[in-house]
Amino acid sequence: MIILSRQRVLVAAIAAAAALLGAIVALHYHRLGLTLSHYDARGHLIVARRVVDSITPGWQQLGAVWLPLPHLLNVLPAQIDLFYRDGAAAIAISIVAFAVATGAVTWIVLGLTGSAAAAIVGSAVFALNPNVLYLQSTPMTEPLLLALLLLAVACLCSLCRPSPVDPADGRDDLAGPDAPGGSKNTRPTGLTVGVLFALACMTRYEAWPVTICALVAAVWAWWRGGVDIVAACRRAGAIAAYPALAVALFAVYSRVVVGEWLTTSGFFVPENKALARPVVAAAEVWWGAHALSGSLAMAVAALGLVALLIVAAVNRRRATALIALSLLASAALPWMAFVKGHPFRIRYMVPLIAMEAIGIGAAVGLVRRAALVTAVIVAAAFASDVRPLDSAAPMVLEAQWDVPNVRVRQQVTDCLRASYDGEAIMASMGSLGHYMQETARDGFMVRNFLHEGNGDIWLAALDGPRRYAGWLLIEEKAQGGDMLARIARAKPTFLDGYQRLCAGAGLALYRRTAPPQRP
């Protein structure tokens, strides 16, 4: 890679420090019992588990709403009960991803500014953010997304950056005397960049717009660096083939599994006030980013990002700065989701913290001759606001929305366990996947549940469950009730032959009392 020796050491050192920090913080949240407090954390574990542990095991159990890479990485570890119940293996992946992402932020800022002080400040802004630290302590998918996207952008910047010029030829405002460069054979290859973007595109949907913008920016950078526009497009196209193939394969998979090329609805109730109101949706994205970091960080980052945009536009040797700015495109996904009415989730704005960190690093590197002094001033300004283990951080609070329900739902689990006879338990995984993972501590396996992933059996049970399920679990309140609740309201005979045994936190348990229906 094209990082000079001492810069490579700096990147490695910061990544190693981030790994140690991440492990310590993960242990902290484990002791607080918040590792799996977010319902999606448990949901990701059960998707990985059900590939093997299911009434109908197989690759189709990966589903077609969430992208598959995080679950593929965790398929084998999730079959071990300890790792499935506590999420330890998935959390280890998140910690490693956090370290890689922090190192990539360092690399990107070094490439943009040539300043070690600026790179350290930028990586610290990212790594010490309490929202980022909490997410890397869980089985959530954002850490893996950030690692792959930031590393892909860093490699693409390196690939597109012209070789260093002699100082006598002149340097731009952001480039230091040791700005990263390197010989051609030390650069990342197009294959490396393409595979990284493809993996990111198989992790979370935010990677899709970022990949498109980054490759368009790469064409600009190559063209500004003296490459013929046709050749530049050809180079970008060769890289784009990998993520394009990944997305195409996922679309085919989705079509086979659920009958749609891409699932864009049906898994949430449109209740956001931004529904069909693009300006309100944009305001929600802005508010979320501000809540995650604060006014000072937003202001300094904005200064740095504007500086990068100007440099990318006017200095042909620093046109690669536009590639780094492509990370802003991660805001496109939450904006589109909110416009469609998706409930507000502040974690959708967490990827913007990486862009903010790069902007702050660029703002420090802007004053090249006083970068160290500026870094000290900026670090001192942020020091009073930095609380890496802030229990009131927005992401930590959002993750605890479901905590009050866990104890109440345990009463339903106790009721089920006391009378359970081995018959299938019909429940919507879209609404109760997190609860199914909870029941693992009481000895229930995923194969004890009949859910949407069981295909034709599930569809047949929707017409008449008595033949297929001895038990029904129905979420009756959250988001207006789940699929089974809506069917029961529309078709009163759906629950014929079942007796309501107990309920709690909106979850109701029914037991079959009449003989199973005839085929």
Residue pLDDT, tens place only, 428-441: 988 899 999 999 99
Instruction: Count the Cβ atoms, other than its own, within 10 Å of residue 252.
Output: 11
Using the predicted structure, report yes or no on whether residue 279 has a pLDDT greater than 70. yes
Cα dist. 426→221, 481, 509 in Å?
55, 15, 10
Average pLDDT (455-461) is 91
Residue pLDDT, tens place only, 105-156: 999 999 998 888 899 999 999 999 999 999 999 999 999 999 999 999 999 9
Mean pLDDT of the chain: 88
Average pLDDT (395-403) is 93
- pLDDT-derived band at 371 (thresholds 50, 70, 90) equals low
- Helix (H), strand (E) counts: the chain: 22, 5
Using the predicted structure, report yes or no on whether residue 174 has a pLDDT greater than 50. no
Average pLDDT (320-344) is 93
Task: Return the structure tokens found at 379.
Answer: 């670090």
- pLDDT-derived band at 266 (thresholds 50, 70, 90) equals low
Residue 163: per-residue pLDDT: 66
Residue 256: per-residue pLDDT: 84
pTM of this structure: 0.90
Strand, helix or coil for residue 56: coil
More confident position, 149 or 61? 149
More confident position, 446 or 184? 446
Using the predicted structure, report yes or no on whether residue 264 has a pLDDT greater than 90. no
Name the residue among 297, 448, 293 with its Cα closest to residue 359. Answer: 297
Residue 269: per-residue pLDDT: 66
Candidate ranges 198-202, 376-380, 400-404, 451-455; pick with highest mean pLDDT: 198-202
Strand, helix or coil for residue 402: coil
- The length of the chain is 519
Which run of H or of E encompasses 389? none
CA angle at residue 127 from 284 to 400, to 5 degrees? 55
DSSP string, 31-84: HHT-TT-SHHHHHHHHHHHTTTSSSS-SGGGG-SSS-SHHHHHHHHHHTSHHHH
Candidate ranges 6-15, 148-157, 286-295, 455-464; pick with highest mean pLDDT: 148-157
CA distance 414 to 37: 20
Using the predicted structure, report yes or no on whether residue 159 has a pLDDT greater than 60. yes
Centroid of chain to Cα 460: 34
Give the phi and the psi of residue 500 in degrees, each rounded to 5. Answer: -75, 120
Rounded CA Rg of the chain: 25
- pLDDT-derived band at 364 (thresholds 50, 70, 90) equals confident
More confident position, 320 or 178? 320
- pLDDT-derived band at 478 (thresholds 50, 70, 90) equals confident
Average pLDDT (218-228) is 93
